[in-house]
Amino acid sequence: MIDLASDVKTRPTAAMRQAMAMAEVGDEQAFEDPTVNALNTRVAALLGKEAALFAPSGAMCNQIAIATWCRPGDEVICDAGAHIAWYESGGPAANSGVMINTIPGHRGRFNAAQLAAAIKPGWRHCPEATLVSIEQTCNLGGGAIWSLDDLDAVAALAHQRGLKTHMDGARLFNASAATGISVDRYAEHFDSVWVDFSKGLAAPVGACLAGSKAFIDRAWRIKQRLGGAMRQAGILAAAALYALDHHVDRLVDDHGNARKLAEGLARIPGLVLDPTEVETNLIYFDVDATVLGFDAQEFCKRLLAANVRMTAFDSRRIRAVTHLDVSAADIDTALVAIQSLASR
């Protein structure tokens, strides 16, 4: 199976499994797990923050941050395609009682002027905006990278208006690998930020949320409330540490494979995409049913029969994601299968 459905499909390597087996462990929630403690210290320094905590998932990091920064009835501002608005099961409302105010940005990104227009007047009739959240890179934006200029301007305006800033850094390492800009520079003006280890970095589970010491102290209470406290979690943290040591620098390989796949798809009649929009490891393209004779759902069904998996979002839109477990040779094989499918 050539699995292009998501970069969460990565599996721990043999060396990562060995590191997990040998990990020193202790009670994580009592701060007695040396491997978790080492991971938190390292990630905080990596992101330029005072402290960090280890959580089972990035979605939990988002939910912890929202509950830490906001009160029930507050408003969180984000892009219309943000993960917190689409793919966290209504968590902001269910867990924190907050409203989501979305900005119709471009490929998951918006600018300071759009943010200014989205902040409601300070009337008691309106919900009070307390948090601005951005996603780097933008999943539904096709892996688009926020520019430093826009990040800095959005954060500056938010702080000027008294709002906190949060960065969903699910693929922050991909942005850094593509641009050469360090992750701490991207996160510099954000009050909280998290990074994921279970996507292109191949760890089986886990993410780290970072911010000031006061923020993390409060965030721990929310983590406890959500059931995120763990016991001998060093086994998981060891995978994350191994990923930081061995799997970050190679993300550029995934980006190269994504461009190769996008360029190949663009040459196939009935598939619609602009390869120049592929900035990292995410490829979104459309199926023209009038050319192929079937829609995106059927495309993915037939492709799966050829041992290649992609994700259909609706009748037109498909996502393919490159990662550690997909090689350049796999891309060639996948393109042959897709060309054959389109020809038939």
Mean pLDDT computed over 270-275: 97
Residue 96 has pLDDT above 90, yes or no: yes
pLDDT of res. 344: 78
Percent share of the chain, pLDDT over 90: 98
The radius of gyration of the chain's CA atoms, rounded to the nearest angstrom, is 21
The answer to whether 214 and 68 are in contact (CB under 8 A) is no
pLDDT of res. 81: 97
pLDDT of res. 106: 97
Residue 98 has pLDDT above 90, yes or no: yes
Mean pLDDT computed over 198-225: 97
pLDDT of res. 63: 98
Mean pLDDT computed over 15-30: 98
Give the tens place of pLDDT for each residue, 103-156. Answer: 999 999 999 999 999 999 989 999 999 999 999 999 999 999 999 999 999 999
Q: DSSP string covering 127-163, please?
A: PPEEEEEEESSBTTTTSBPPPHHHHHHHHHHHHHTT-
Residue 240 has pLDDT above 90, yes or no: yes
Angle in degrees, 0-180, between the axes of helices 213-225 and 58-69, rounded to the nearest 10? 110
Give the tens place of pLDDT for each residue, 78-88. Answer: 999 999 999 99
Give the tens place of pLDDT for each residue, 315-329. Answer: 999 999 999 999 999
Q: Which helix (H) or strand (E) holds 168?
A: strand 164-169
This prediction has a pTM of 0.97
CA angle, 270 as apex, 144 and 143 as ends, to 5°? 10
Domains and CATH numbers, the chain: 13-246 (3.40.640.10), 250-343 (3.90.1150.10)
For the chain, the average pLDDT equals 97
pLDDT of res. 8: 96
Classify 125 as helix, strand or coil: coil
Structure tokens at 25: 């462990």
Q: Who wins on pLDDT, 343 or 38?
A: 38
Nearest one of 133, 139, 14 to 70, comparing CA atoms: 133
Structure tokens at 59: 């979605």
Structure tokens at 184: 């701490």
